[in-house]
Amino acid sequence: MDYVFNNETEARTFSKVHGWETENVEEIALKISALPKASGTHKRITVITQGSDPVVVAEDGRLKLFPVILLPPKEKLVNTNGAGDAFIGGLLSQLVQ
């Protein structure tokens, strides 16, 4: 895969299953992006969302953190189901453009 998307819980579970002994999301992102690929035509980019904490992007041994724009107070939020899927859909739509 050229792109791997996780949320912080999925990333920490992946780390635990692979015996990496870290829960640090940034470290996990770097490790995932460095995993071997069958095709060497593109480097792997790992994107980990963390709710209201910054989005972590790892590529080629480098990290970038993207702050999350805060929404109105929690009591005004109706439902966050699918927020990660919507984020990934928006990101992928911009990549193909």
Catalytic residues: 85
Rounded CA-CA distance 31/7 in Å is: 15
SS3 96: helix
Instruction: Yes or no: say if 11 and 53 are a contact pair by the CB < 8 Å rule.
Output: no
SS3 27: helix
